[in-house]
Amino acid sequence: MNEKNIFCYVMVAPALAITIVLGVYPMIDTMLISFQSYDLLTLQNEGTRWIGLDNYREILANEKFLQTISQTVIFTVLAVGISVAMGLFLAQIVNAEFRGRSVLRTIILSPWFVPPVVASAIWLWLLETNTSPINSILLDAGLIERKIRFLTDSDTIGPFSIPMLSIVAVRCWNGLPIIIIFLLAGLQSIPKSLYEAAEMDGGGVWAKFRYVTLPMLQPVLMVLFALLFLGGFGHFEMNYIMTGGGPRNLTNVLAVWTYQEGFQFLRYGKAAAAGGIVLVMCSIISVFYLWAQSKDNRS
């Protein structure tokens, strides 16, 4: 091993050690706990017993947990789909040359500076039924006849509830800037000659977007979708702070369910099993991303 290789290993070692201690070890330990009967209320008398897949069987037979998985998928798909669609639209606007572009960029990117916890607190006030200025504006404009219960209405339209849609909207508002930055970087790497060639062929706005922008943004979109889906399955702050998973479990997601099971009901074994299911879902996304990337590299 030459000096150059030794230097490289030394430089990588601290990051590798931190990843193992803070990432790999907790993950392995959590998976081991998920196969044990680990309940703090009975720990002193019964200890921890190896029970195999019983925790998984029990939570997968729980209707509320299955509803939570469904709500997690709905939340993630809606938040990712809406955010990326809006990001594509807004990234092209702020990528265009016009007076005031810097001001518009600052306004659009400003939600990025608001931490999710603070954003949740702000929107919790904005969406509270009795004090909501949004309700006041809609009532004054005659658009609604009674106040909307943004975070407490338990009525649903198919799989969608107003509280879940409200949280998705807040998530999109807070997460949109980073998506725009990704896409803006991708747009600025596209050679202008491709658009000029499309114009010479008679292509309009849609044709340029369909045949130039989307194909050239594909690598960026792949990374973006992978990161957003992974983040969506592990999303916690807004659902917990704004609704705590209610009403009627309609806004509960896997991260909130895991927290409640572990730190409120002290059933660590079942909480770890729920974490294991999140790990499986994230692994499927990662494998799909790696497969798509390798397929793209081969082509």
3-state secondary structure of 39: strand
Q: Is the pLDDT of residue 73 over 80?
A: yes
pLDDT category of residue 77 using cuts at 50, 70 and 90:
very high
**Exposure of 29 by Cβ count < 10 A (0-12 exposed, 13-18 middle, 19+ buried)?**
exposed
pLDDT tens figures, 46-67: 778 899 899 999 999 999 999 9
Inter-residue contact 38 to 272 (CB < 8 Å): yes
Choose the weakest-confidence range: 16-20, 116-120, 130-134.
130-134
The runs of H, that is alpha helices, within the chain are: 3-19, 25-33, 43-46, 54-60, 63-95, 101-109, 116-126, 133-140, 162-188, 192-200, 205-208, 214-233, 237-242, 254-259, 268-298
- Tokens of residue 37, six digits: 């009967």
Q: Hey, how many other C-beta atoms are within 10 angstroms of the C-beta on 194?
A: 15
Choose the weakest-confidence range: 121-125, 224-228, 288-292.
288-292
3-state secondary structure of 292: helix
Q: What's the confidence (pLDDT) of residue 202?
A: 84
Q: Is the pLDDT of residue 68 over 90?
A: yes
Instruction: Return the percentage of the chain with pLDDT > 70, whole number.
Output: 99
CA 298 remoteness from chain centre: 29
Inter-residue contact 72 to 233 (CB < 8 Å): yes
State mean pLDDT over 77-91. Answer: 94
pLDDT category of residue 1 using cuts at 50, 70 and 90:
low
DSSP code, position 267: B
